[in-house]
Amino acid sequence: MLLRPNIVPSSSKTKILRYASSYTQFINGDWTSAAADVIEVENPSTHEILAHVPKGTPGDAELALSAAKEAQVSWEAKAACERGQVLKNLANLMAEKKDFLAKTLSDEQAKVLPLAKVEVDASIEYLNYYAGFARIYEGEIIQSDDPMEQIYLHRIPLGVSVGICPWNFPLFVMMRKITPALLTGCTVVVKVSEYTPISSFEIAKLFNDAGVPNGVINVVTGEGDSIGQALVESDVPAIISMTGSTAVGQKIMKAASSNLTKVNLELGGKAPVVVMDDCDIDLAVEATWASRVIYSGQVCNCAERVYVQNSIADEFIDKLVKKMASTKVGMPETEGADMCGLINPTQLEKVAGMVERAKQSGAEVCTGGSINQSMPGYHYEPTVIVNAKQSDEIVQKEVFGPVLPVLQFNDLDEAFALANDSEYGLTSSIFTQNAATVHRAMKEFKFGETYINRNHFEAIQGFHAGLRKSGIGGTDGKHGLYEYLGTRAIYWKN
């Protein structure tokens, strides 16, 4: 039986309304909405109601898409350097408000304040990074078989883009959706999570001062089954970029298929960590711990399962258990806190249920394994599990919480076989001092990203992409930019 959290009834939640008492959708450079109903945005750590946002409707989706479609022609006609300057302007305005934005993220997400500050800084850096591509991305000239002919490959913007953002890194992922799209000449409708919309609407307040023309960026929120469904079923978007669960990604693919709309999907993960007997054990423990407790384990690309070589298993597990047990859990503003609670009671019950089922299947909890009710919020104890089977749910399905199952292996062949035995293929990592082992990992891991001797967190100049049920396409770097560009071939004969 699950130990249920002390869920605060909606009727008794304190309505603080720290931000705008009621936001509306940001469409065509103004604040408007066809929605009559609102959603209460809760602070998951205190249960305070922070703001009201629209419960977006298909009518809101139609308004936003129409505005983006109308703005598309004039936006793509601008020089890339002019579009890049708008990104720089927005970055500068965000930098002026970064403490406020970090506090906003912390409030609406139950995220420790230092991590919220990192997210804001990374979002600003993302804008400046892509602004620098304005004079760099290029087409090609291909040699023709005819000496009197030239073949040109022109890079052209795809058109209206729809971006659908998750709740775990709402500001950074919003920048991922709008930044490469804007630079390449695409207009955007971004649908932000109804759980964490405040920071995104606060960014929208900066668009006009940043020089964003009306209709070029439109920010809406609401439930996926209503406004989200209308956005992805429309024939207006040329590309739909979504970050979220695999199940929702599959629904989006199905909806987009009727219009053959391009999709770019970053979905779930079940990242393996392989720990070899020649590694720096302390480094492996520290990096694995950091990769699991960041934002309370609610990160799709971070460590979800560990495979450690038999000969060092006892030492590694002992150190990992002690490290997880020492995790400082607190409120977002708690000095030195490593993690806070989960986003909502649904996520808490999901994590608790998966651990309970693992125990019923014979797995052993070494530390944690329970809901923590010592403070407000939706807290689950940092947990290490051993003696799980490879086929167990806790090893095969994404937990999205501070839980690590640890399994053992004999040799490298077995390690790769176990690590690759997953429907997901987002990220992976290995800890070893052997160059030959590293080269094998680069070839044999079946994942979009592999980290060697460090934790799971990507760089903006790389390419963040998943295989199998972890996604289609990718983001970041020059290859992420090209996701928003089409290629047109021109044959010019003199």
Residue 210's CATH number = 3.40.605.10
In this structure, the answer to whether residues 254 and 317 fall within a common structural domain is no
Say yes or no: 136 and 187 in one domain.
yes
Q: What is the pLDDT of residue 226?
A: 92
Do residue 286 and residue 250 come from a single domain? no
Are residues 248 and 366 located together in one domain of the fold? no
Burial of 347 from C-beta contacts in 10 A (0-12 / 13-18 / 19+): buried
Judge whether 3 lies within some domain: no
C-alpha distances out from residue 85 to 21, 208, 456, Å = 33, 13, 32
155 and 76 in a single domain? The answer is: yes
Report yes or no on 465 lying in a domain: no
Residue 304 belongs to domain with CATH number: 3.40.309.10
Do 258 and 291 sit in the same domain of this protein?
no
Same domain, 255 and 117: yes
Residue 213 counted as domain residue: yes
Whether residue 482 sits in one domain with residue 424: no
Same domain, 201 and 275: no
The verdict on residue 69 lying in a domain is yes
Instruction: Please give the positions annotated as active site.
Output: 266
pLDDT at residue 21, as a whole number = 62
What domain range is 373 assigned to?
271-459
Predicted confidence at residue 484, as pLDDT, reads 96
Q: Are 311 and 13 in contact (CB under 8 A)?
A: no
Give me the tens of pLDDT residue by residue for the chain, a chain 494 residues long: 333 334 344 444 555 556 556 789 999 999 987 667 889 999 999 999 999 999 999 999 999 999 999 999 999 999 999 999 999 999 999 999 999 999 999 999 999 999 999 999 999 999 999 999 998 888 899 999 999 999 999 999 999 999 999 999 999 999 999 999 999 999 999 999 999 999 999 999 999 999 999 999 999 999 988 999 999 999 999 999 999 999 999 999 999 999 999 999 999 999 999 999 999 999 999 999 999 999 999 998 899 999 999 999 999 999 999 999 999 999 998 999 999 999 999 999 999 999 999 999 999 999 999 999 989 999 999 999 999 999 999 999 999 999 999 999 999 999 999 999 999 999 999 999 999 999 999 999 999 999 999 887 888 888 888 899 999 999 998 999 999 999 999 999 88
Give a yes or no: residue 1 inside a domain: no
262 shares a domain with 275: no
Contacts of 354 (CB under 8 A, 6+ apart): 393, 394, 397, 399, 401, 403
Residues 315 and 234 in one domain: no
Instruction: Give a yes or no: residue 5 inside a domain.
Output: no
The number of domains in the chain is: 2
Residue 229 and residue 378 in one domain? no
Per-residue pLDDT, 225: 86
User: Would residue 2 count as lying in a domain?
Assistant: no
Q: Which residue has the tokens 């290629």?
A: 487
Confirm whether 389 is domain-assigned: yes
